[in-house]
């Protein structure tokens, strides 16, 4: 990459020039009437003005040369401009260098061409050379170069050119001032952009759009909408660029109704058919978790590009529409002329990962290799994550070790893989190998290692790593690290130490820290501390139903059924609902999802008989249902029916009926598995001689011959 030459800022800091105005461009000698009177140049110029494709331009170029007109500066400038409009910058530069007497227009055309084609370094270098030959930039030169400074983050250069413009007393120019607003927007200086905007004597719709875009880009969405209202009061009409800026601004406003309002404005102004607008609106609905709204826009697109397909795939993947994500991906593959990119492949890989769909994940992995993305490091971490979340640690390790290049995300994914499967020592070994390979750990790496220590009960090792984070790895602990250590101490029963750590933190604990401590209180039956922590959680997250359920379960384990009722009444009075438990299982490449207590499932009649048989057989082997967390006011039959119809039991029963003997059953659950299901899975694995893998919200449980890989430590 070219480097910027020194002395650039100093020139604009001291240079004086006569005032230039728009006539400077049009009254230049290259536009004299004598030259325009020549019939041949005007003929060529007229053709160049009309054609927009490379081949005709090159034919005109050849004709100019053979006609002996190659030194006509007007034609040369027009020819240079035509090449820049087609993105043929090498041809444009070739013509430019052959001009013997270059003028301001010549230099400006090349600078503008480089900037419009995103060759910002080259644009700035041409401006420097222009200055060295003692030619002063005019307003068109300035407005062309300002976007380069903004896109490259060159704050000092941008300010220097702005000062040059003011100091030399140039007349106000809407194009330069709009470019200044855009530059400061790119640099993140919304205040400076607004100052320029407020000082404009004349504003066009481009200037308004630039300022609205500045606010939305800097995260001030509400300011953007206020400015838009002012724009409408001034009588300016909305165009496609205004809509795009408002869509971006709506992403910074939490209320999705704002985005819906912009959608309505889009329809009323007749720009809803624009592909970019539709894609941006889809993104608003996806970010607001309104997958149906996004799909409605997607379905209405007459032409769908890879961005729209990938965005919809991401929506399905992140919204628990796992079957739909796989169907959508298969549709993508059938579309002609639609080339899959790494983003699309990462999206479907993440969907397979979240759902535990190992069979589909293997297919996508094969497609990654087939399409030439096998060496994509970013995609590599997604492949590792997929095998990890499908409890296939061996394949994750094999893929990781076979990678030619590994970035920090790949190392982190592999450390998490070992940690979630209970291999704490292997996770620490990987952490040490990572340092030896020349890859420096980041904050996420330390979170992964501390979580691995927590899942494996490696308290001493975890505390040692935490205490040496700054000294050894120059990483200052943040809230996530503290939450991991609180969880580490809490799981080990050291609630006093965990509570002391919470109270001695250098910043105020967040809900993750308190939630880790509350979970430990539930595990170890410390009701008094649990109630205290619950009150703090309710202050931070008053509308999170999960904490009420956790508190209710704590009271249930302590046998305090009156408080259980109070907790659940509080839950209902606030209009909150517990997230329903559901579990997914992949059979022959198809994903089946069961919800707790779901007796209207299409496969329930198939499952019901197997479920009853499964319960009878494990009871004969010694399984006794754990009804401690079920409301005691319910009858025994209702309690047992609720426990037997937990989602993972339904999914496992379905797997037993649909798969061959000795086949591993893999289940993915959205919540933490309960004590009763954990206990039952041990007996199921022993009685039916199956390996059962359950991935819950916290970790993996691999059941073999009546023993769980977590060693009952979860």
Q: What percent of the chain has pLDDT over 70?
A: 86
Q: What mean pLDDT comes out for the span 475-499?
A: 92
Contact predicate 710/701, CB 8 Å: yes
Which tokens is 312 given?
């919809």
Q: Identify the pLDDT of residue 73.
A: 74
Indicate whether 32 pLDDT > 80.
Answer: no
Per DSSP, which regions of 630-691 are E strands? 665-669
Q: Identify the pLDDT of residue 19.
A: 38
Q: Identify the pLDDT of residue 200.
A: 85
Identify the burial level of 419 via C-beta atoms within 10 angstroms of its C-beta, where 0-12 means exposed, 13-18 middle and 19 or more buried: buried
What's the pLDDT tens digit per position in 160-202? 888 888 877 676 788 888 899 889 988 888 889 898 888 888 8
Cα 139 to Cα 554: distance, rounded to the nearest angstrom? 71
Instruction: Name the strand (E) or helix (H) holding 701.
Output: strand 700-704
More confident residue, 53 or 274: 274
Q: What mean pLDDT comes out for the span 48-62?
A: 63
Q: Identify the pLDDT of residue 324.
A: 83
What's the pLDDT tens digit per position in 501-534? 999 999 888 888 988 888 888 788 788 888 888 7
- Name the least confident of 33-42, 92-101, 241-250, 667-676: 33-42
Q: What mean pLDDT comes out for the span 92-110?
A: 85
**pLDDT grade for 304, boundaries at 50, 70 and 90:** confident
Q: Identify the pLDDT of residue 633.
A: 62
- Report which of 225, 231, 186, 243 is spatially closest to residue 205, judged by C-alpha positions: 231
**pLDDT grade for 479, boundaries at 50, 70 and 90:** very high
- CA dist list (Å): 354 to 20, 308, 582, 650: 62, 22, 13, 19
What's the pLDDT tens digit per position in 332-362? 888 877 788 888 888 888 888 877 788 888 8
For the whole model, what pTM was predicted?
0.66
Q: What mean pLDDT comes out for the span 55-73?
A: 68
What's the pLDDT tens digit per position in 163-172? 888 877 676 7
Instruction: Please count the other Cβ atoms lying within 10 Å of the Cβ belonging to residue 364.
Output: 25
- CA dist list (Å): 58 to 54, 62, 63, 92: 6, 6, 9, 11
Q: Identify the pLDDT of residue 528.
A: 83
Q: Identify the pLDDT of residue 619.
A: 93
Indicate whether 22 pLDDT > 80.
Answer: no
Q: Identify the pLDDT of residue 703.
A: 92
What's the pLDDT tens digit per position in 617-650? 999 999 998 887 665 566 788 888 888 999 999 9
Contact predicate 345/371, CB 8 Å: yes
Q: Identify the pLDDT of residue 429.
A: 92
Q: Identify the pLDDT of residue 301.
A: 86
Name the average pLDDT for the chain: 82
Ranges of each domain in the chain: 582-708
Indicate whether 292 pLDDT > 90.
Answer: no
Per DSSP, which regions of 501-571 are E strands? none
Indicate whether 456 pLDDT > 90.
Answer: no
**pLDDT grade for 24, boundaries at 50, 70 and 90:** very low
What's the pLDDT tens digit per position in 643-657? 899 999 999 999 999
Q: Identify the pLDDT of residue 11.
A: 54
**pLDDT grade for 56, boundaries at 50, 70 and 90:** low
What's the pLDDT tens digit per position in 139-154? 889 889 998 998 888 8
Indicate whether 47 pLDDT > 80.
Answer: no
Q: Identify the pLDDT of residue 483.
A: 93
- Residue 579 is classified by DSSP as P
Instruction: Name the strand (E) or helix (H) holding 590.
Output: strand 590-595
SS3 587: strand
Q: Identify the pLDDT of residue 182.
A: 86
SS3 583: strand
**pLDDT grade for 665, boundaries at 50, 70 and 90:** very high
Q: Identify the pLDDT of residue 37.
A: 42
- Report which of 255, 251, 240, 176 is spatially closest to residue 217, judged by C-alpha positions: 251
């Amino acid at each position: 990459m070219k480097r910027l030459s020194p002395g650039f800022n100093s020139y604009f800091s001291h240079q004086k020039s006569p005032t230039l105005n728009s006539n400077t461009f049009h009254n230049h000698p290259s536009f004299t009437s004598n030259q325009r009177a020549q019939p041949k140049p005007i003929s060529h110029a007229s053709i160049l003005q009309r054609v927009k494709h490379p081949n005709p331009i090159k034919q005109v170029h050849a004709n100019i040369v053979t006609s002996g007109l190659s030194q006509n500066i007007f034609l040369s400038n027009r020819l240079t401009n035509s090449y820049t409009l087609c993105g043929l910058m090498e041809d444009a530069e070739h013509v430019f260098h052959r001009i013997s007497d270059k003028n301001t227009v010549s230099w400006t055309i090349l600078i503008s061409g480089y900037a419009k084609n995103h060759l910002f370094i080259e644009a700035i270098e041409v401006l420097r050379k222009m200055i060295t030959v003692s030619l002063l930039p005019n307003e068109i030169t300035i407005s062309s170069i300002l976007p380069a400074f903004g896109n490259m983050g060159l704050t000092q250069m941008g300010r220097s050119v702005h000062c040059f413009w003011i100091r030399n007393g140039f007349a106000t120019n809407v194009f330069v001032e709009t470019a200044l607003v855009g530059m400061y927007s790119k640099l993140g200086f919304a205040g400076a952009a607004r100052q320029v905007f407020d000082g404009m004597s004349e504003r066009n719709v481009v200037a308004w759009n630039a300022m609205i875009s500045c606010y939305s880009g800097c995260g001030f969405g509400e300011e953007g909408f206020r400015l838009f209202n002012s724009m409408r009061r001034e009588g300016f009409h909305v165009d496609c660029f205004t809509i795009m800026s408002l869509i971006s601004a709506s992403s910074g406003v939490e209320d999705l109704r704002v985005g819906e309002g912009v959608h309505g404005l889009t329809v009323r102004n007749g720009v809803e058919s624009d592909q970019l607008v539709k894609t941006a609106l889809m993104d608003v609905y996806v970010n607001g978790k309104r997958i149906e709204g996004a799909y409605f826009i997607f379905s209405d697109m007459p032409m769908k590009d890879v961005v729209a397909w990938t965005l919809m795939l991401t929506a399905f993947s992140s919204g628990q529409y796992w079957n739909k994500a796989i169907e959508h991906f298969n549709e993508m593959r059938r579309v002609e002329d639609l080339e899959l990119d790494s983003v699309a492949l990462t999206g479907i890989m993440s969907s397979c990962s979240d759902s535990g769909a190992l069979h589909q994940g293997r297919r996508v992995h094969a497609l990654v290799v087939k399409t030439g993305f096998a060496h994509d490091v970013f995609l590599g971490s997604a492949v590792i994550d997929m095998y990890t979340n499908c409890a296939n640690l061996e394949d994750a390790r094999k893929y990781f070790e076979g990678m030619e290049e590994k970035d920090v995300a790949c190392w982190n994914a592999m450390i998490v893989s070992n940690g979630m499967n209970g291999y704490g020592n292997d996770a620490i070994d990987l952490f040490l190998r990572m340092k030896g390979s020349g890859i420096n750990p980041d904050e996420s790496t330390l979170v992964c290692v501390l979580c691995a220590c927590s899942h494996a009960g490696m308290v001493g090792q975890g505390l040692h790593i935490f205490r040496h984070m700054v000294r050894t790895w120059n990483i200052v602990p943040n809230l996530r690290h503290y939450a991991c250590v609180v969880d580490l101490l809490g799981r080990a029963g050291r609630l006093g130490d965990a509570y002391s750590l919470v109270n001695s933190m250098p910043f105020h604990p967040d809900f993750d820290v308190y939630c880790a401590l509350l979970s430990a209180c539930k595990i170890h039956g410390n009701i008094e501390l649990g109630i205290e922590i619950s009150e703090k959680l309710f202050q931070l997250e008053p509308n999170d139903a999960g904490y009420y359920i956790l508190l209710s379960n704590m009271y249930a384990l302590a046998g305090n059924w009156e408080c259980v009722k109070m907790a659940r009444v509080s839950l209902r009075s606030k209009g909150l609902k517990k997230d329903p438990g559901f579990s997914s299982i992949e059979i022959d490449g198809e994903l089946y999802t069961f919800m707790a207590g779901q007796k209207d499932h299409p496969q329930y009649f198939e499952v019901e008989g197997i479920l009853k048989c499964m319960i009878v057989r494990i009871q004969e082997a010694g399984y006794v249902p754990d009804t401690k967390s079920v409301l005691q006011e319910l009858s025994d039959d209702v309690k047992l029916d609720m426990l037997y119809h937990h989602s993972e039991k339904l999914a496992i029963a379905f797997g037993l009926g649909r798969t061959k003997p000795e086949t591993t059953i893999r289940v993915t659950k959205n919540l933490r598995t309960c004590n009763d299901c954990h206990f039952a899975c041990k007996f199921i694995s022993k009685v039916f001689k199956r390996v059962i893998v359950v991935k819950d919200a916290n970790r993996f449980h691999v059941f073999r011959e009546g023993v769980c890989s977590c060693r009952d430590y979860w």
